[in-house]
Copies of this chain bind each other. A is one copy, B any other.
Amino acid sequence: MLNVYLSGEIHTDWREQIIAGAQGLDVTFNSPVTDHAASDDCGVAILGEEPNKYWHDHKGAMVNAIRTRKGIEDADVVVVRFGEKYKQWNAAFDAGFAAALGKSLIILQQPDHDHALKEVDAAALAVTREPREVVEILRYVLTGKLPG
């Protein structure tokens, strides 16, 4: 059985594609909360308002860390998706965190980010371009079967 954490971009359906593609495989998936508004506001929604936006964000990031740290620490494989937009520093942070814990890292990104991601990619066991490739790796790792 493989425990896989799906970190990074939350604006496309790459997680759903991987989970659907991996049906029938002995995999458990975990991921951060992908509801953007909930993720941004969880701190103040539960622990009380903050007039200062910095502390508003801080309280939320801390609460989310309870979930993301457990997700990464329990994982055998951490997949980190970098999308086309935004800074996505939390994705790179998760990759570094996972690398330091010795997790098997799979990066999912487009070639135009290759240069900017070279240090992240250098810590990975696979750099993929499509969710389908992640699924094919999981299938091969679990069953020894290659695509086609």
Contacts and interface: CB of A to CB of B under 8 A. Distances in A.
Contacts of A24: none
A126 B93 contact: no
Q: How many copies does the complex hold?
A: 8
Interface residues of A, number: 80
Interface in A67-110: 67-70, 76-77, 82, 86-102, 104, 106
B99 A47 contact: no
Contact of A70 (B48, B76, B82, B145): B76
A122 interface: yes
B46 A118 contact: no
A46 B89 contact: no
Contacts of A92: 89-93, 96
A121 B87 CA distance: 14
A33 interface: yes
A20 interface: no
A38 interface: yes
A86 to B, nearest CB: 7
Interface in A110-138: 111, 113-129, 133, 136-137
16 contacts: A46-B128, A54-B114, A57-B115, A58-B121, A58-B122, A62-B126, A66-B137, A87-B117, A88-B89, A89-B92, A89-B119, A90-B119, A90-B120, A93-B99, A96-B100, A98-B100
